Structure 1
């Protein structure tokens, strides 16, 4: 992969401070063009926009957004998939392929947290992968950028199109046998000071970003507006 494009799948809504600071954090990650698939807030500037109709669940919408990006002729074949709550807090030269370990272990984790739709999607995606010859799949459902190519994305989405809560990253990573290195998911779920600071990636919940110490840490890390904010929208 050369220098990739960045593709965000973005939910509707103008107020999105996590997206603002995620865009600022791209200064730590070499990239070409930035694309927003789904919704583009009015304060965002100098990005490619791929609007979609988002009237389904968040899972259906994000899948439709990813498909729209992969079908767009101007998006580079090689891109990094991001959500608006991903932050690159240290310089990263080339984005590696990372996973969180076996899907079975992720299933145990989420089964204790009563994540109904998400857990069902995990199990259905795991079953699909087993039917495709991947009986012990890895989970790529991490809150950090994932390298992808458009042609492979479309192939994976076609294979999994019957699942309404498709675990897209895991289907993609196992289908094309990406391998990679196991890491801990960087999502911070609590407001307190107990989070790692000397790490390349962080991710937040709206609550932990707006009211937690991790959010304060990220805002302090990126005080200056990025090229992707309009002049009138350059506020904190």
Structure 2
């Protein structure tokens, strides 16, 4: 046995052993690099590049669903921790703004202003009781007011406030407010836009500010995600 160890640890055999071990290690490293490169290419082709194409299209709930489904593809497991964090943040931001449109946000701002003016003039904007098991638990606005939002959205689409030089858009919205107020709340005369102009309502409303913040967060998340080095093919 001692002769065997003496033979094993001679210089020539140590060199041979180290050569074999080094050769195996090099082969393992080459294989690991090859498989990592292959996995990362699959990640790009099957997950990231399809997502980038979807992002280039107009935002919508349909595209959000496509992005979410694509992000769950098998090859997404090859994302690094940093990349997954960027992807998760981006998807969350996309979801929060995918239903955004200029006209719908403007309509919501105007609707909020309408309710504000009614309440300032002593009119209860939530006269409809909400009942659960024959017990009133809260109050809400008349359900018909959903059509007011639709009407306002159509007006803004057809007549953006930027071209309201003669005040005609403001007058149309005033007439609409008066009709809805008379139909569902009160005959009381209210002076709309005497405190804030149409432009001020659309630019400075709480609804607009909230959407502006969401859009800013989305743009940053999109830039961070698409700026990841993994999108680079070289």
The bucket for the TM-score relative to the shorter chain is under 0.3
Rg larger in structure: 2
TM-score (normalised: structure 1): 0.21
* Higher percent of residues as strand: 1
